[in-house]
């Protein structure tokens, strides 16, 4: 049986190597690739990814999994070996259900839809995008139907990003969260606004870069196994577990994007860097899910990086770097400014208090589209109605409304909720951490993050993808994903800032 396990591990390692090669091709495409190389890069990515898929879904893998099942059943269910077989089996069964023709059709339709979306957004014309989105929705529905019987047709789409999570679960979570978050935003809106104009000044890019590097180095970002580069859209990319890179973009006239973007991506990277090396080159060598990943990035960005103790340590240093811009701005004023709540049209610019409302709106619309209770043609109206209801604003036009996000054009339906779930998980973990490390605020006030990182490594990072998200959160916090902690966190924080 050892031989069979080794055979399986060898194949899975090769699959992981191919995905690592694809990851580098993707990283390079967004950082250093010459503009004229895009078409060739498309071929290269297509070939490498399809070979990885073919290898993973080969009959050989299926046969090995079948033969090893009795052996797996005898193992400690928490052992790396048992989990490897379980996770591989699960992913194998999913991927082999999907006919290659459907994958190819979705890739082709998405490529065209993405182009149409780019033009539709530029011309602020939803009708140009509508027929393409209709095809995407239709294909995603056909994809979801492959996994019948199901409790809800949206389950399969969600499962691709959050293994094991059900549509009913996220509905329950979000229905509990939404009224409380809407009420909070309304309460804040009724209060005098805090000042944030000082964040919009010229800030030298190199100095922003250097300060960000100083911050994430103190978090524990390991430059021997990572690097930072610039890109149009910030992202984190693992090219194997030994090479976890981040990118950041800087706005020369606005401090927030570079500063908090760097902390956010470092949070993703710290997760991957902390995965047990024994899990490398296997399906277990990645994060548990997108929501758990996002819980890490949002924790470092928000629960740490937008907290008062953090700035008690770092603000004097930031003032030294930008004396003319911030020398006369007091700590409390700075802290309130970076936490300003201001309902807006655009998700990626949203603050902590309103962000989840942007997500809930999208999730509700996605579910309705997939279950056919909403037609694509009625999307703009559904969008604008909810924006008014949840955030009290109506987009000026579809370009800053229903057309703002790239995801649907690329066939990514099922992804959005992970952003909001990540926020919820970050707060659940934060309550637990603060019980285990009662002097954490004091440590942060000294710029000390090693105990925090050690806790995250021990409880979350090292496990990689061994546990499904709900199981992992349950093990660590004692309950599944639940919005209560996040609501408590928001109320405490904004109650104090806005004196509610």
Tokens, residue 249: 């973009």
Determine, following the binding rule CB under 8 A, whether residue 41 of this chain makes contact with its own copies.
yes
C-alpha span between 212 and 205 (Å, rounded): 11
Nearest distance, CB of residue 209 and its own copies, angstroms: 16
Cβ–Cβ < 8 Å for 353, 185: yes
Please identify which residue in 1, 6, 40, 78 interacts with its own copies, judged by CB under 8 A. 40
Cα-based angle 48, 52, 27 (whole degrees, multiple of 5): 50
Cβ–Cβ < 8 Å for 216, 260: no
Determine, following the binding rule CB under 8 A, whether residue 9 of this chain makes contact with its own copies.
no
b/e code 463-493 from CB counts within 10 Å (16+ = b): bbbbbbbbebbeebbeebbbbebbbebbbeb
Of 269-308, binders to its own copies (CB under 8 A) are: 280-281
Instruction: List beta partners, residue 228.
Output: 246
Determine, following the binding rule CB under 8 A, whether residue 243 of this chain makes contact with its own copies.
yes
Nearest distance, CB of residue 12 and its own copies, angstroms: 11
Stretch that binds its own copies, among 183-191, 241-249, 329-337, 401-409 (CB under 8 A): 241-249
Determine, following the binding rule CB under 8 A, whether residue 25 of this chain makes contact with its own copies.
yes
Determine, following the binding rule CB under 8 A, whether residue 490 of this chain makes contact with its own copies.
no
Determine, following the binding rule CB under 8 A, whether residue 438 of this chain makes contact with its own copies.
no
Q: Which of 162, 265, 294, 366 is catalytic?
A: 265
Binding mask 194-233 for its own copies (x = CB under 8 A): ----------------------------xxxxxx-x----
Of 336-355, binders to its own copies (CB under 8 A) are: none
Binding mask 42-61 for its own copies (x = CB under 8 A): -xx-xxx--x----------
Determine, following the binding rule CB under 8 A, whether residue 32 of this chain makes contact with its own copies.
yes
Nearest to 94 by CA among 122, 121, 62: 62
Determine, following the binding rule CB under 8 A, whether residue 239 of this chain makes contact with its own copies.
yes
Cβ–Cβ < 8 Å for 283, 91: yes
Instruction: List beta partners, residue 238.
Output: 244
Please identify which residue in 5, 7, 9, 33 interacts with its own copies, judged by CB under 8 A. 33
Where are the alpha helices (H) located in 254-402, listed in sequence order?
Answer: 256-273, 290-298, 308-321, 323-326, 331-338, 352-370, 379-391
Determine, following the binding rule CB under 8 A, whether residue 91 of this chain makes contact with its own copies.
no
Number of residues that bind its own copies (CB under 8 A): 40
Please identify which residue in 5, 24, 331, 484 interacts with its own copies, judged by CB under 8 A. 24
Q: How many CA atoms lie within 13 A of 28 on its CB side?
A: 16
Nearest distance, CB of residue 224 and its own copies, angstroms: 4
Cα-based angle 207, 209, 211 (whole degrees, multiple of 5): 70
Determine, following the binding rule CB under 8 A, whether residue 431 of this chain makes contact with its own copies.
no
Q: Which C-beta is closer to its own copies: that of 3 or that of 39?
A: 39
Q: Which C-beta is closer to its own copies: that of 220 or that of 422?
A: 220
Q: Which C-beta is closer to its own copies: that of 158 or that of 239?
A: 239
Stretch that binds its own copies, among 13-21, 342-350, 451-459, 491-499 (CB under 8 A): 13-21
Nearest distance, CB of residue 273 and its own copies, angstroms: 10
Coil vs helix vs strand at 263: helix
Nearest to 135 by CA among 381, 369, 397, 403: 369
Nearest distance, CB of residue 70 and its own copies, angstroms: 30
Q: Among this protein's residues, is 265 annotated catalytic?
A: yes
Torsion over CA of 393, 188, 173 and 463, rounded to 10 degrees? 110
Q: Annotate 377-415 with DSSP letters as a single string.
A: GGHHHHHHHHHHHHHS---SSGGGTTTS-SGGGGT--S-
Q: Which C-beta is closer to its own copies: that of 11 or that of 189?
A: 11
Cβ–Cβ < 8 Å for 59, 95: no
Q: Which C-beta is closer to its own copies: that of 241 or that of 387?
A: 241
Phi, then psi, of 251 in degrees rounded to 5: -100, 120
Determine, following the binding rule CB under 8 A, whether residue 104 of this chain makes contact with its own copies.
no
Tokens, residue 322: 């930008």
Torsion over CA of 277, 280, 283 and 289, rounded to 10 degrees? 50
Determine, following the binding rule CB under 8 A, whether residue 37 of this chain makes contact with its own copies.
yes
Nearest distance, CB of residue 290 and its own copies, angstroms: 23
Please identify which residue in 2, 3, 34, 324 interacts with its own copies, judged by CB under 8 A. 34
Residue recorded with tokens 């976890």:
244
Phi-psi region of 164 (alpha: psi -120 to 50; beta: other; left: phi over 0): left
- Please identify every residue annotated as catalytic: 265
* Residues in contact with its own copies by the rule CB under 8 A: 13-14, 17-18, 20-22, 24-25, 28, 32-37, 39-41, 43-44, 46-48, 51, 222-227, 229, 239-243, 245, 280-281
């Amino acid at each position: 049986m050892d031989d069979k396990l080794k055979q399986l591990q060898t194949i899975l390692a090769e699959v992981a190597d191919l995905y690592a090669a694809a990851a580098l091709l993707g990283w390079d495409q967004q950082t250093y690739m010459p503009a004229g190389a895009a078409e060739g890069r498309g071929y290269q990515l297509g070939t490498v990814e399809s070979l990885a898929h073919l290898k993973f879904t080969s009959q050989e893998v299926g046969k090995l999994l079948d033969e090893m099942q009795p052996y797996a059943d005898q193992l400690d269910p928490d052992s790396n070996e048992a989990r490897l077989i379980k996770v591989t089996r699960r992913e194998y069964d999913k991927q082999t259900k999907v006919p290659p023709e459907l994958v190819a059709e979705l890739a082709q339709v998405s490529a065209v839809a993405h182009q149409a979306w780019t033009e539709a957004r530029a011309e602020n014309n939803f009708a140009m995008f509508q027929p393409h989105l209709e095809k995407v929705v239709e294909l995603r529905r056909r994809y979801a139907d492959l996994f019948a019987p199901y409790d809800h047709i949206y389950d399969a789409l969600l499962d691709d990003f959050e293994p094991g999570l059900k549509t009913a679960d996220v509905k329950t979570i979000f229905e509990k969260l939404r009224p409380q978050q809407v009420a909070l935003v309304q309460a804040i809106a009724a209060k005098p606004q805090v000042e944030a104009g000082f964040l919009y000044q010229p800030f030298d890019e190199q100095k922003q870069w250097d300060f960000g590097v100083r911050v994430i180095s103190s978090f524990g970002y390991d430059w021997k196994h990572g690097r930072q580069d610039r890109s149009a859209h910030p992202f984190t990319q693992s090219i194997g577990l030994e090479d976890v890179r981040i990118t950041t973009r800087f706005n020369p006239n606005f401090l927030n994007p570079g500063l908090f973007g760097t902390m956010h991506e470092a949070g993703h990277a710290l997760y991957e860097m902390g995965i047990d090396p024994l899990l490398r080159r296997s399906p277990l060598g990645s994060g548990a899910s997108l929501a758990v990943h996002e819980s890490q990035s949002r924790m470092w960005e928000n629960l740490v990086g937008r907290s008062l103790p953090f700035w008690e340590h770092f603000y004097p240093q930031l003032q030294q770097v930008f004396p003319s811009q911030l020398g006369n701005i007091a700590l409390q004023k700075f802290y309130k400014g970076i936490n300003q709540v201001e309902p807006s049209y655009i998700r990626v610019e949203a603050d902590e208090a309103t962000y989840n409302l942007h997500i809930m709106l999208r999730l509700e619309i996605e579910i309705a589209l997939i279950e056919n209770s909403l037609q694509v043609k009625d999307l703009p109206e559904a969008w604008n109605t909810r924006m008014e209801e949840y955030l009290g604003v109506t987009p000026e036009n579809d370009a800053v409304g229903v057309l703002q996000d790239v995801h649907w054009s690329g066939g990514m339906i099922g992804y959005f909720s992970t952003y909001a779930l990540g926020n919820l998980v970050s707060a659940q973990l934060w309550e637990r951490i603060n019980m285990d490390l009662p002097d954490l605020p004091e440590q942060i006030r000294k710029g000390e993050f090693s105990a925090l990182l050690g806790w995250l490594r021990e409880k979350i990072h090292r496990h990689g993808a061994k546990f499904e998200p709900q199981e992992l959160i349950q093990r660590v916090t004692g309950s599944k994903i639940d919005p209560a902690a996040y609501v408590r966190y928001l109320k405490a924080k904004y109650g104090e800032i806005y004196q509610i």
